[in-house]
Amino acid sequence: MNRPEIAVTGLGLVTPAGFGTEETWQRVCAGTPTASPDPDLDAAPVAFSCRIPAMDLDTAVGRKKAWRIGRFSKLALLAAREAVQNAGLDTGGWDGARVAVVLGVGFGGAPHWEDQLRRLHQRGPAHVSPTVIPMVIGNMAVGEVAQEFGARGPTLACATACASGATALTIAHDLLVAGSCDIVLAGGAEAALSPLVATGFHRMGSLSTRGHDVPGASRPFAADRDGFVLAEGAAVLVLERAADARARGARVRAVLAGHGASNDAHHPTAPPQGAAGVEQALRTALRSAGLGAGDIGHVNAHGTSTPLNDAAEAGLIARALPHQPSVTAPKGVLGHSLGAAGAIEAALTVLTIERGLVPPVANLTPDIAEFDIDCVTGTARRQRIDAALSHSFGFGGHNVVLALRRD
């Protein structure tokens, strides 16, 4: 029996580039960075980030429920609403028992946890919110999305650090192939912009300290890169079996053709020399999708702007894909949204395939590009792409590579 094709039929994005898929896509294609000073991080040694533009999240979510929902769950809910609408699904008429939700989350409600801990120490237990636990624990984004849409199928939260959003898509793919559900709302959400999180990453040497040039701080694959910029955001993709999508007259925006996952089993935070684990995930993704290396026309790189990660990833791309497919790295514009990044970048890869347009790597020019890979710089590049890879790597040695192709 042939394995069913898995289609992407809906996209929803809430990112520092804007509220909604189109706003995000336009700014990413313009290559305009979103990093800016962040007063909420003044207590941290690095006081800038990529924060979602000011908006009334509580009104957008609905004030009757917003009071009990953590910020990361609000972002997930807004992204899911857009994705479901974009897919043209009638939630009132669907069988909720056949609808699944799978979301990746890294830190959950870390800022709220810090705030409530201060209240406990400064004012006592009576001033700690009774909603602190559901506003903090990572699975509540899944729970809120499931409740909103009456999704009573498998509901899973996954945590593979910065690969979490991509991991969610691999699980969603396999649930549909196995016949465990008919529709999956899959992606990731993160809202961890807090002084403690920023300080922790700074102490590890992971964050850019380019305070003299904040918009230019996130510079993937540049010779003078010095770390990533913390960000927040959410993405939800609607996945269905392609045959089911076509039967209901839905647009298949791209096919999630396969995926690969591995672990470096090397170091808690650093990639091994040679990136063997990442290469294993890449080659598994190609086999899973029935593709050869030469079929790949584009790579959406993890591209964190850290010295070690970018060097390992660029070396892998040059070695495993020597025909030099085009490469982009959205973190130059969006910063690093941790557990949401893999889902956001998968959604952008779908748009790249669908629209035949590769966004540039922000803050990268040919004269400062360190590696012999075909990074798109300056302006977006017109290119027909039949198949692409989206890379995501996380602390703990987690590697995920998604293979997407044109329908």
> Catalytic site residues?
162, 302, 336
Exposure on the CB side of residue 200, measured as CA atoms within 13 A: 10
Q: 203-208: long-range contacts at Cβ-Cβ below 8 A with a sequence spacing of 24 or more?
A: 204/269, 206/269, 206/306, 207/46, 208/46, 208/305
What residues contact residue 284 under an 8 Å CB cut-off, 6+ apart?
A: 259, 260, 261, 262, 401
Going by C-alpha positions, the residue among 9, 29, 1 that lies closest to residue 352 is 29
**Calpha distance 142→402 (Å, rounded):** 22
Token match 């305009």: residue? 32
Q: Is 141 exposed, middle or buried, given 0-12, 13-18 or 19+ CB atoms closer than 10 A?
A: buried
Bridge partners (DSSP) listed for residue 389? 299, 403
Closest of 272, 356, 338, 306 to residue 108, by C-alpha: 338
User: Which residue spans within 113-232 are E strands per DSSP?
Assistant: 155-158, 183-190
Copy the structure tokens of residue 62. 């609905």
Could you identify the residue written with the tokens 């684990």? 277
Tell me the β-bridge partners of 369: 222
Q: Are the beta carbons of 83 and 185 closer than 8 angstroms?
A: yes
If one counts every other C-beta atom within 10 angstroms of the C-beta of residue 119, the result is: 16
Give the closest residue to 191 by CA, choosing from 228, 231, 152, 223: 231
Burial-class residue 146 by CB neighbours within 10 Å (0-12, 13-18, 19+). buried
Between CA 203 and CA 83 the distance in angstroms is 37
CA angle 250, 252, 257 (to 5 degrees): 140
- Could you give the 3-state DSSP secondary structure of residue 394? strand
